[in-house]
């Protein structure tokens, strides 16, 4: 079983390396580093709240880029290069969010239950987003016209839907974290008065 998994992974990496469009959206392993003395005192839940905030900002940028892609689809005179530029921009945003979700997955066991649920949801949304972006990039590389066809429109629509999903999930997490922080401050203020 392990050999089969190793062979499949090796073949997948070889295929991904053969196609430049896949190169920047390769799945990467989220591996934790070695614990240090500081890691035993680290506030991982606070770190997660900060990562949710970063993901929210990236998801906002990605949603804007996806919205522009949708607007491009309505105009058949838009050059295919503009489509490719927006998809590349999205790829950068996806990779940044992927790094942040990766860190969240590494520290998952230290997170509050609501944070784990959010990490799970964002992980699924991010994988779907990366798949649709990769498929759209491949489509643009093969077909430098026909952006009004249903296949490409579906990719763009899915990209927009997933970026909105990430924006909503991260936004809800940020709001909840802010509310928790405010409650703690009020509790402290009440105890001190």
Within 10 angstroms of residue 151's Cβ, the number of other Cβ atoms is 12
| pLDDT score recorded for residue 159 | 96
Q: What is the mean pLDDT of the chain?
A: 81
- CATH superfamily entry for domain 44-192: Alpha-catenin/vinculin-like (1.20.120.230)
Model pTM score: 0.75
What tens digit of pLDDT does each residue of 160-185 get?
Answer: 999 999 999 999 999 999 998 899 88
Tens digit of each residue's pLDDT (9 = 90 or more) over 72-92: 877 777 777 888 888 999 999
- The tokens describing 117, both together, are 């649920």
- CA-CA distance, 40 to 38, in Å (whole number)? 5
Segments making up each domain of the chain, as ranges: 44-192
Name the pLDDT band for 17 (thresholds 50, 70, 90). very low
pLDDT in tens, 107-130: 999 899 999 999 999 999 999 999
Q: For residues 29 and 148, what is the distance between their CA atoms, to the nearest angstrom?
A: 36
DSSP 17-43: HHSHHHHTT-----------TGGGT--
Among 25-34, 65-74, 170-179, the range scoring the smallest mean pLDDT is 25-34
The pLDDT value recorded for residue 33 is 60
Let me know: does 45 contact 110? Beta carbons within 8 Å: yes
Q: What percent of the chain clears pLDDT 70, i.e. is strictly above it? A: 78
pLDDT of residue 29: 57
Is the pLDDT confidence value at 135 over 80?
yes
Output 132 or 70, whichever has higher pLDDT. Answer: 132
DSSP codes of every residue in 88-137:
HHHHHHHHHHHHHHHHHHHTGGGS-HHHHHHHHHHHHHHHHHHHHHHHHH
């Amino acid at each position: 079983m392990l050999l089969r998994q190793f062979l499949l992974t090796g073949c997948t990496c070889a295929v991904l390396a053969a196609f430049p469009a896949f190169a920047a959206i390769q799945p990467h392993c989220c591996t934790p580093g070695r614990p240090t003395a500081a890691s035993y005192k680290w506030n991982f839940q606070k770190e997660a709240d900060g990562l949710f905030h970063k993901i929210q900002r990236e998801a906002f940028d990605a949603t804007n880029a996806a919205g522009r892609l949708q607007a491009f689809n309505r105009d058949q005179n838009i050059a295919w290069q503009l489509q490719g530029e927006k998809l590349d921009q999205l790829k950068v945003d996806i990779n940044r969010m992927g790094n942040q979700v990766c860190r969240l997955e590494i520290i998952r066991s230290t997170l509050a239950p609501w944070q784990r649920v959010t990490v799970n949801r964002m992980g699924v949304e991010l994988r779907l987003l990366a798949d649709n972006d990769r498929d759209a990039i491949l489509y643009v590389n093969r077909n430098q016209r026909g952006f009004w066809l249903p296949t490409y429109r579906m990719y763009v629509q899915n990209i927009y839907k997933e970026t909105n999903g990430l924006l909503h999930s991260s936004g809800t997490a940020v709001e909840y974290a802010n509310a928790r922080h405010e409650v703690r401050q009020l509790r402290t203020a009440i105890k001190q008065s």
